[in-house]
Amino acid sequence: MSPSQPPVTLLPFAERATSLAPSATLAMTARVKDLQAQGIEILDLTAGEPDFSPPKCVEDAAIKAIHEGRGRYTAAAGMMELRKAVAAQVERELGISYDPKQIVITNGAKIGIAQALMVMVESGDNVLVPTPCWTSYPEMVKLAEGEPRVVDCGASLLPRVEDLEAARDERTAALMLNSPCNPTGMVFPEQLLREIGEWAADKGVRIISDEIYSTLTYGGAKHYSPLQLVPELQDTSVWIGGMSKAYAMTGWRMGFLAGPMDLAKSIAKVQSQLAGSPNAISMYASLAAIENADVEREEMRQAFEARCKIVVDALSEMPGVDCPNPSGAFYAFAGVRSFLGKTCPDTGRKVESGDDLVELLLEADQVATIGGSAFGAPEAFRISFATSEEVLRACMKRIAARLAKLT
Ligand SMILES: Cc1ncc(COP(=O)(O)O)c(C=O)c1O
């Protein structure tokens, strides 16, 4: 640039990026890693992923696929063999019958949900988000230029039809449902899902049913899909599943969605322009898991069930903690309203929110959890039980002792 030329002015970054909240859960995970790198021993209850290794057949199938040179582009919607296997699994486990062409394989359920929103939501539409909710839903709706409408679930942690109806208007494009739920661990009862499904079908609201935790239920709780209970929804709505939680394959980035043919094709078209096609090696690995790893999947579920019991038993003995029993996913969401305004005598820290309590537990007890504000519920905090029973027992003891000290 010659001295006589005016300095170049760049336009600012787009609003959609600057207004986006960073992922609070990933921020806490980074903080824990940082403290651990400084040599501080932290007991970590922040994990959003199973602490198990994937089934052996997954690794074998991936290595075989690499050696056979299968790491190539596929059709945008994914390998037909895997789409067939997913359709068969959905039929077997939920009783919903999809043509394999209605299945789209995505690079993780997360991007599948985002792509579904891009197809369903027109600028200015709104999407109902029962809260507490997974931290990414509101931000994904905003990226699709929609308005996330928070619908508070209240003390039961379950959405109510009358609240959904009160929040709905003619620009309501979709409802996000997530059972088993992150962060609450709630498995929505069959009758409630039926009522919500019938309401949605009646009002012309599409559902995005995020069932990524569907295989992880405990204590006799049974997972239902609203699309199975109200079959008309199969003509309007989207089912979301994936490999991350059920098969401990988080880093393999494999998700699935199913919807009516026109919607599935539109989502595949968006995917063809954004991702191209899903990860081919992970598709071979996922195919092996779906066909051969039912036993390992069940073993992992049983391990989570035992951990869930440890957490539920411990929480039920903490006076003042408000936590409907979790029966799915791998989280408990503890309400701490009765502790707000109290002070820790050891540190002088006052607890005004779930996030403050999380800070206190981290500083004073070296226990890492996630504050409820990340999930739209600031008077609570999330405990992940994706860790060993030994760590869980130690953490629950420390949390109980700290809460008992607050005055
Ligand atoms: C509720 C919920 N949906 C979707 C996902 C995304 O899963 P994936 O790893 O398949 O992108 C997560 C991951 O934490 C989740 O908790």
Number of domains in the chain: 2
242 lines ligand 1 (CB under 6 A): yes
Q: What is the pLDDT of residue 3?
A: 67
Q: What is the pLDDT of residue 95?
A: 96
Residue 68 in any domain: the answer is yes
The overall average pLDDT reported for the chain is: 96
206 lines ligand 1 (CB under 6 A): no
Within 335-388, where are the H helices?
Answer: 354-365
Residue 7 in any domain: the answer is no
Same domain, 79 and 222: yes
Instruction: Single out the residue in 266, 293, 320 at which a domain terminates.
Output: 293
Q: Which two tokens stand for residue 58?
A: 């997954």
Q: What is the pLDDT of residue 27?
A: 84
Q: Average pLDDT for residues 153-178, to the nearest whole number?
A: 97
CA 87 to centroid of ligand 1, rounded, Å:
20
Question: What atom of ligand 1 comes closest to residue 254's alpha carbon?
Answer: 10
Phi, psi of 19 (to 5 degrees): -90, -5
Residue 306 in any domain: the answer is yes
Q: Average pLDDT for residues 180-199, to the nearest whole number?
A: 98
Same domain, 357 and 285: no
% the chain with pLDDT above 70:
99
Same domain, 257 and 344: no
Residues 6+ apart with CB under 8 A from 14: none
Q: Average pLDDT for residues 181-200, to the nearest whole number?
A: 98
* Tally of CB atoms within 10 A around 404: 11
* Mutation choice for ligand 1 from 212, 279, 384, CB with most ligand atoms inside 8 A: 212
Indicate if the pLDDT at residue 355 is higher than 80: yes
Same domain, 167 and 190: yes
% the chain with pLDDT above 90:
93
Instruction: Single out the residue in 271, 293, 315 at which a domain terminates.
Output: 293
Same domain, 88 and 237: yes
Structural domain containing residue 378: 15-41+296-405
Residue 281 in any domain: the answer is yes
CATH number at residue 364: 3.90.1150.10
Instruction: Single out the residue in 293, 319, 350 at which a domain terminates.
Output: 293
Could you tell me the pTM of the whole model? Answer: 0.96
Q: What is the pLDDT of residue 26?
A: 82
210 lines ligand 1 (CB under 6 A): yes
Indicate if the pLDDT at residue 150 is higher than 90: yes
CA 253 to centroid of ligand 1, rounded, Å:
10
Same domain, 181 and 306: no
* Mutation choice for ligand 1 from 134, 243, 253, 271, CB with most ligand atoms inside 8 A: 134
CA 266 to centroid of ligand 1, rounded, Å:
22
Indicate if the pLDDT at residue 4 is higher than 80: no
CATH number at residue 278: 3.40.640.10
Same domain, 198 and 271: yes
The answer to whether 131 and 380 have CB atoms below 8 angstroms apart is no
Residue nearest to atom 13 of ligand 1 (CA): 48
Same domain, 210 and 300: no
Buried b (16+ CB within 10 A) or exposed e, 308-339: bbbbbebbeebeebbbbbbbbbbbbbbbbeeb
Q: 360-401: per-residue pLDDT in tens? A: 999 999 999 999 999 999 999 999 999 999 999 999 999 999
Residue 8 in any domain: the answer is no
Q: What is the pLDDT of residue 354?
A: 96
* pLDDT confidence tier of residue 6, bands split at 50, 70 and 90: confident
250 lines ligand 1 (CB under 6 A): yes
48 lines ligand 1 (CB under 6 A): yes
Q: What is the pLDDT of residue 195?
A: 98
* pLDDT confidence tier of residue 1, bands split at 50, 70 and 90: low
DSSP state of 74: -
CA 184 to centroid of ligand 1, rounded, Å:
14
255 lines ligand 1 (CB under 6 A): yes
Residue nearest to atom 16 of ligand 1 (CA): 182
Same domain, 223 and 98: yes
Q: Average pLDDT for residues 99-108, to the nearest whole number?
A: 98
Buried b (16+ CB within 10 A) or exposed e, 343-371: ebeeeebebebbbbbbebbbebbbbbbbb
Residue nearest to atom 7 of ligand 1 (CA): 109
Residue 163 in any domain: the answer is yes
159 lines ligand 1 (CB under 6 A): no
Q: What is the pLDDT of residue 321?
A: 96
Residue nearest to atom 12 of ligand 1 (CA): 110
Same domain, 279 and 223: yes
Same domain, 74 and 167: yes
The answer to whether 187 and 327 have CB atoms below 8 angstroms apart is yes
108 lines ligand 1 (CB under 6 A): yes
Indicate if the pLDDT at residue 7 is higher than 90: no
CA–CA separation, 300 and 280 (whole Å): 25
Q: 14-64: per-residue pLDDT in tens? A: 998 999 888 888 888 888 999 999 999 999 999 889 999 999 999 999 999
Question: What atom of ligand 1 comes closest to residue 110's alpha carbon?
Answer: 11
148 lines ligand 1 (CB under 6 A): no
Q: What is the pLDDT of residue 2?
A: 64
Residue nearest to atom 5 of ligand 1 (CA): 110
Interior angle at CA 94, CA 62 and CA 84, nearest 5: 40
Q: 258-311: per-residue pLDDT in tens? A: 999 999 999 999 999 999 999 999 999 999 999 999 999 999 999 999 999 999
The answer to whether 131 and 152 have CB atoms below 8 angstroms apart is yes
Nearest to 378 by CA among 407, 342, 335, 339: 335
The answer to whether 331 and 386 have CB atoms below 8 angstroms apart is no
Same domain, 287 and 303: no
